[in-house]
Amino acid sequence: MRIALFVTCLMDQFRPEAAEATVSVLEHCGCEVVFDPRQTCCGQPAFNAGLHQEAIPVCRGAVRVLDDQITRGGCDAIVTPSGSCAAMFRHAIGLLDGEDAAAAKRVAEATHELSEFLVRRLQRIDVGASWPGRVAWHDACHGLRELGIKSEPRRLLEAVDGLDLVESSTCDRCCGFGGTFSVNLPGVSTGMADDKIDELETLGIDAIVSGDASCLMQLEGRLEARGSRIRGVHLAEILAAREPLTRANS
C-alpha cells in the first residue's frame, strides 16, 4: 500500500524523531511511504482562531498537495500522526470552495490517524516494538471525539514488549493546549494540564503517551516546569522502538 504522509507542522520542526518513527512503523508494516515536501500546515491554528482569511490559503495548500498524491501520485491513503490534523481536513470541506472543497472531501476520506490506520485499515496490532517502561495513554480530544479513536492506541501499546500500560482516570480530559487558547488564557490552560498531571503523578509512570505532538508539547512543558520525572512520548516513537528489555528482564 502506498501512503502519503502528512507530517504535522509542529512535529516536522520540533519532533522529527516522531515523524521518522511513523515512517518506520508504516514501512515495517509493508507500506511504501511518500512525503511531499510542498506540504506545510493544515491551517487549523488560524481556523480555530476564527481567522478564515488566514486559514484558507494554508489549508488549501495542504489539501492540494495531498489530493495530488491520491489522485495522481498513486497513493492509496493519507496517514498523519495527529488526530487533530486529520480532523481539520473534515473542516476543510466546509471552509474551501468549489474544486478545492471536492478535493478536501477526497483528502478527508483518505486521511487516517496513525493508530486508526494500523488497527482498522491494516489490522495490525503487534508491530514488533519493545519499550521497557510504565506508561499511561492520553486521549487527544480530536482523535477521541471527532474520529472516535479510543481502543486502537491502547491495543497497539498493550502489544509492545516490556511495556506496562496503566489507565488514568483523567485520560480523556483535555490537556489544555487548544492552540491560541494556550497563550490567550495561559492560567486556565496550565490549570487544565495540572488537573491531569496531579493524577498522573500518582500512577508511578515513566511516560505519558499521546498521538498528538501538540498535546505532548503542552504536557511536557508543564511537567518540566513542575519538575516532574514523567516525560512525554509520541505513540509512533514507542511503536518504532526496539529497545532491549533490560529492566523488564532483570
Interface residues for another protein in 53-82 (CB under 8 A)?
53-54, 57-58, 61, 69, 73
Instruction: Compute how many other C-beta atoms are within 10 angstroms of the C-beta atom of residue 235.
Output: 29
HSE-CB at 50 with a 13 A cutoff on CA atoms is 1
Residue (of 171, 211, 221) closest to 21 by Cα position: 211
Single out the residue of 46, 108, 136, 235 in contact with another protein (rule: CB under 8 A).
46
The answer to whether residues 114 and 235 touch, using CB atoms and an 8 Å cutoff, is yes
Which of the residues 19 through 38 are near another protein (CB under 8 A)?
19-20, 23, 33-38
What minimum distance in Å lies between the beta carbon of 145 and another protein? 4
Residue closer to another protein, measured from CB, 135 or 144? 144
Residue (of 33, 57, 42, 37) closest to 8 by Cα position: 42
Packed helices 98-110 and 52-71: angle between N→C axes, nearest 10 degrees: 60
What minimum distance in Å lies between the beta carbon of 192 and another protein? 5
What minimum distance in Å lies between the beta carbon of 165 and another protein? 23
The window from 116-124, 127-135, 153-161, 182-190 that contacts another protein (CB under 8 A) reads 182-190
# residues near another protein by CB under 8 A: 72
Cell numbers 511537567: residue: 223
Single out the residue of 174, 197, 200, 230 in contact with another protein (rule: CB under 8 A).
174
Which of the residues 183 through 222 are near another protein (CB under 8 A)?
183-193, 195, 217-218, 220-222
Does the protein bind another protein through residue 168 (CB under 8 A)?
A: no
H-only helix segments in the chain: 9-14, 16-28, 44-48, 52-71, 83-95, 98-110, 114-116, 141, 151-158, 181-184, 186-200, 213-226, 235-239, 246-249
Which of the residues 97 through 136 are near another protein (CB under 8 A)?
none
The window from 116-124, 128-136, 175-183, 233-241 that contacts another protein (CB under 8 A) reads 175-183
